[in-house]
Structure 1
Amino acid sequence: MSHMTLLTGPERRRRWSEADQCRILAAAFAPGATIRQPGRVLPSSCDNGGEEVVSVYLVTWDLNKQKPNYDQARQNLIGHLARYEHIKDPGLDSLLFISSTLSADALNADIRTRMDTNDRVIVTKLVDGQHQGWLGQNLWDWINVRL
């Protein structure tokens, strides 16, 4: 390939520097690269020039229904989780699929800031090719494009 054109414009959701665009294209055309790999690697905010990988997590929780402010606590938690890129299956009440560069430990710690010691949460990282379930196609599409 001798010529590439990068399309940019106001309709783009992400703003990539020219250096990042070149790095992503180089990764996309590297020997053995798959289409998913370049999009999963984002520039790190670290000064060392490292990279962060985007992961998809299944996050499920159970709040203590005995607490006097259960409804408000639930809404606060859901609002807090909505800060992350996510998708929800309408049939699964207390479960979100979240896409983030955070580790499972860091995501769990952040979620726990909105819970008390009687509440429960599980954060599980999904692995490409090692997950199954009965979900709508739109959820599978969202998950699989991010793995």
Structure 2
Amino acid sequence: MPPPPTPTSQQPPKLIHTTPSPLSPSTPNTPPSNPPITIDLLLTVLTRTLFHPFLAWLTVLCLRAQATPYTAPAFRITTAYATLLTLFFILRTVNQRIGYGAPRTVDLGDEVVVVTGGASGLGLLIARIYGLRGEAC
């Protein structure tokens, strides 16, 4: 059994755990309030803005509304860009259709529906709708 500490020996100070106030900066244990910017996020934003065929054709229409002649280089480049994006969009759609097949038809009589949180709100509404259809057990 070790001897009891003497008054002259130094003991480490006790650490007191306090909760940070809401106004204090975040501690390293809390997750960041905004998700980090990743390549996936950037590609998602680009495919919905700069690389979307609708917006590309809208640019062509805007040039035409400004009475840009069909032979102008800006009009030709913009039209070629919109055509290329449209071709890629069609090829991507065909690729997804081949990869995943045709969408299946859903017969709710053959499906099992599990509603979690059916006590209130949207879950209750879904449970009532399936109950009115006679699909609930």
**TM-score grouping bracket, smaller chain normalisation:** under 0.3
Larger helix proportion of the pair = 2
Give 1 or 2 for the bigger CA radius of gyration. 2
Q: TM-score, normalised by structure 1?
A: 0.16
Q: TM-score, normalised by structure 2?
A: 0.17
Larger strand proportion of the pair = 1
